[in-house]
């Protein structure tokens, strides 16, 4: 382990970490591989001050020039793909293909920002009344902040700061302290692409850093992704301080399997959606709702076969399909949920608790777990586990299955497997969930659309990335102008301004 403490990135340069620090682990081995500084409120203020100082000139930078920086940034990201994905696998533990998939989707968002001159165009109307023109503009907010989770150390930051910056804002990023290195590299590459100093800053830390951002008078808006209790706290605290806030929270995503579905394809899709990234993603399918016992028996059989054959191991093994959980504490938490499911009376079809990997005995590996006969009153059904645990619930009809989904407190993502277009259309139209898949298990929108859930999966009105990100990171201003003819004396008018109706 290096003696160096990973610090921050402020005003265009790495800043050494001082004061409190926290260990960073390799989840595959359980080995401490470094330490990361926990920013004090003073360090956060330094980053915010740098962003505030950079804002006046950056807001006046033409959108085309901002976009050209993003074009160069995209090229740098692609040329550093291997370097960044190796950092992700080392600090997060996800397998190589998964790290590459995450990073590729992040680059897609950067590609979207390259259209800034088009995205930031206003609207103009000539002669809205006699001699009067009117137009609207998208104006940047100022200093904005992002607080990102451990499960996507590249993707979620790339959801936020490229779009905020290309809209003319300056940015302070607070990544997860569990896997902090990726964000520092992303920031350094932005500087290499030509971004002026102070426009993007990174502070590592914990709740002290989060609270400093939420209470800073200079920070105009905060974007957050994480667990629902924290999302609710961020939203309440930030809005109480007068900030614009979007806070994306947790999920309990259901997949309905209909009797007419292609069961082989549905089971394979469920395997990837439930156990990919070790279940540590807010779009993971954690509940399969089978319509009818016959469907349930078929699905359980195929899932059992797939889960028992699944290759669990470190990213260094190219054959690995699922890696470890992020920390020892999270491993114990997820393992405890499996114990709870057994105590509650669910049938544990596949038990991943006793997985042992030779040479990686200290790693945080939990094998895939599969429960059958899960009921809505059970904790393993109600609560977000955020691990490789799939629960199977049986329903009598599509309407019963939809009622389960609609009754749940979360509304992030869902999907249905069916060959029936009428059933799929009914499901897509009526289900109370923000992102819906039809024979697509992980309906994560591409960069030209926006990402976000309903109910207690999202606090705030606007989604992440895509068109909503332009709305979130800008204020619309409407201007109306006229130029009276020289020398004409006008009378005072006391009626509301209008274009008179024809006589």
* pLDDT for position 425: 97
* pLDDT for position 502: 62
Looking at 325-476, list the stretches that DSSP marks H as alpha helix, in order from N- to C-terminal side.
328-344, 379-382, 398-407, 421-430, 466-472
CB 106 within 8 A of CB 155: yes
CB 39 within 8 A of CB 202: no
* pLDDT for position 484: 80
**Alpha-carbon gap, residue 389 to 400, rounded angstroms:** 23
* pLDDT for position 490: 73
Lowest mean pLDDT across 204-218, 241-255, 273-287, 484-498: 484-498
* pLDDT for position 130: 82
Which residue's entry shows tokens 């920070």? 219
Residue 167: active-site member = no
What's the whole-number mean pLDDT along residues 498-502? 65
CATH of 253-438, one of 3.20.130.10, 3.40.440.10, 3.40.309.10, 3.40.50.720: 3.40.309.10
Helix axes 181-192, 81-91, angle to 10 degrees: 160
What's the whole-number mean pLDDT along residues 34-53? 97
Exposed e or buried b for every residue in 391-417, given b needs 16+ CB within 10 A?
A: bbbbbeebeebbebbeebebbbbbbbb
pLDDT digits (tens, 9 = 90+) for 375-434: 999 999 999 999 999 999 999 999 999 999 999 999 999 999 999 999 999 999 999 999
Given a cut of 60, is residue 240 above it in pLDDT? Answer: yes
**Alpha-carbon gap, residue 286 to 295, rounded angstroms:** 18
* pLDDT for position 501: 64
**Alpha-carbon gap, residue 290 to 259, rounded angstroms:** 8
| β-strand pairing of 454-455 with 410-411 | antiparallel
pLDDT digits (tens, 9 = 90+) for 119-134: 999 889 998 888 888 9
Q: Is the dihedral of CA 389, 419, 415, 404 positive or negative?
A: negative
Measuring CA to CA, which residue among 325, 388, 309 is closest to residue 362? 325
Given a cut of 60, is residue 292 above it in pLDDT? Answer: yes
Confidence of residue 499 (pLDDT cuts 50, 70, 90): low
* pLDDT for position 177: 97
- How much of the chain exceeds pLDDT 90, in percent? 89
CB 243 within 8 A of CB 269: no
**Alpha-carbon gap, residue 456 to 113, rounded angstroms:** 29
SS (H, E, C) 53-100: HHHHHHHCCCHHHHHHHHHHHHHHHHHCHHHHHHHHHHHCCCCHHHHH
pLDDT digits (tens, 9 = 90+) for 246-284: 999 999 999 999 999 999 999 999 999 999 999 999 999
Given a cut of 90, is residue 485 above it in pLDDT? Answer: no
Given a cut of 70, is residue 71 above it in pLDDT? Answer: yes
Which residue's entry shows tokens 């491993």? 331
Which residue's entry shows tokens 């995450």? 102
Catalytic residue, from 282, 290, 369, 415: name it: 282
pLDDT digits (tens, 9 = 90+) for 110-166: 999 999 999 999 889 998 888 888 989 999 999 999 999 999 999 999 999 999 999
* pLDDT for position 503: 46
* pLDDT for position 494: 73
What's the whole-number mean pLDDT along residues 295-316? 96
What's the whole-number mean pLDDT along residues 471-487? 88
Q: Domain extents for the chain?
A: 5-249+457-478, 253-438
What's the whole-number mean pLDDT along residues 296-303? 97
Residues 6+ apart with CB under 8 A from 240: none
Q: Span 5-249+457-478: which CATH code?
A: 3.40.605.10
* pLDDT for position 91: 97
Q: What is the token pair recorded at 287?
A: 């509940």
Starting at the edge strand found earlier in the chain, the sheet holding 285-291 runs: 347-350, 369-372, 389-395, 285-291, 253-257, 413-417, 435-438
Given a cut of 80, is residue 77 above it in pLDDT? Answer: yes
* pLDDT for position 492: 75
Radius of gyration of the chain (CA): 25
């Amino acid at each position: 382990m290096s003696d160096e403490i990973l610090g921050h990135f402020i005003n265009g340069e790495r800043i050494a970490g001082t004061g409190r620090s926290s260990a960073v682990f390799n989840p595959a081995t359980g080995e401490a591989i470094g330490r990361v500084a926990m920013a004090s409120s003073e360090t956060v203020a330094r980053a915010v001050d740098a962003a505030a100082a950079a804002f006046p000139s950056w807001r006046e930078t033409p959108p085309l020039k901002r976009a050209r920086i993003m074009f160069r940034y995209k090229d740098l990201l692609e040329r550093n793909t291997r370097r960044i994905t190796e950092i992700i696998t080392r600090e997060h533990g996800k397998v190589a293909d998964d790290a590459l998939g995450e990073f590729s989707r992040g680059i897609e968002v950067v590609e979207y920002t390259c259209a800034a001159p088009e995205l930031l165009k206003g609207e103009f109307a000539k002669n809205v009344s006699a001699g009067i023109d009117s137009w609207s503009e998208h104006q940047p907010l100022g200093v904005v902040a992002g607080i990102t989770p451990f499960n996507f150390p590249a993707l979620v930051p790339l959801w936020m700061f490229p779009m905020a910056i290309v809209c003319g804002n300056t940015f302070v990023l607070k990544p997860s302290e569990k896997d902090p290195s990726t964000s520092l590299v992303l920031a350094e590459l932005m500087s290499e692409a030509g971004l002026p100093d102070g426009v993007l800053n990174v502070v590592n830390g914990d709740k002290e850093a989060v609270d400093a951002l939420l209470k800073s008078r200079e920070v105009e808006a905060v974007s957050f992704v994480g667990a629902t209790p924290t999302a609710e706290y961020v939203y309440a605290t930030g809005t109480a301080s007068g900030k614009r806030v979007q806070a994306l929270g947790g999920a309990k995503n259901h997949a309905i399997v209909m009797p007419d579905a292609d069961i082989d394809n549905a089971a394979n899709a469920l395997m990837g959606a439930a156990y990919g990234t070790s279940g540590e993603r807010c779009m993971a399918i954690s509940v399969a709702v089978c319509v009818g016992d016959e469907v349930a028996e078929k699905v359980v059989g195929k899932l059992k076969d797939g889960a028992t054959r699944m290759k669990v191991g470190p990213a260094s093994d190219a054959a690995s399909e699922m890696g470890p959980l992020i920390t020892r504490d999270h491993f114990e938490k997820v393992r405890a949920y499996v114990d709870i499911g057994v105590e509650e009376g669910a049938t544990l079809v596949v038990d991943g608790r006793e997985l042992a990997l030779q040479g990686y005995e200290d790693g945080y590996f939990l094998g895939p777990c599969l429960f059958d006969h899960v009921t809505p009153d059970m904790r393993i059904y109600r609560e977000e586990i955020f691990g490789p645990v799939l629960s199977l619930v049986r329903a009598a009809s599509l309407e019963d299955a939809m009622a389960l989904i609609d009754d749940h407190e979360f509304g992030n993502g869902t999907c249905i497997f069916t060959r029936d277009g009428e059933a799929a259309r009914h499901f897509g139209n009526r289900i109370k969930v923000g992102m819906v898949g039809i024979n697509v298990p992980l309906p994560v929108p591409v960069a030209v659309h926006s990402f976000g859930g309903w109910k207690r999966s999202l606090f705030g009105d606007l989604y992440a990335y895509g068109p909503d990100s332009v709305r979130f990171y800008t204020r619309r201003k409407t201007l109306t102008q006229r130029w009276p003819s020289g020398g004409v004396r006008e009378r005072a008018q006391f009626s509301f301004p209008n274009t008179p109706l024809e006589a």
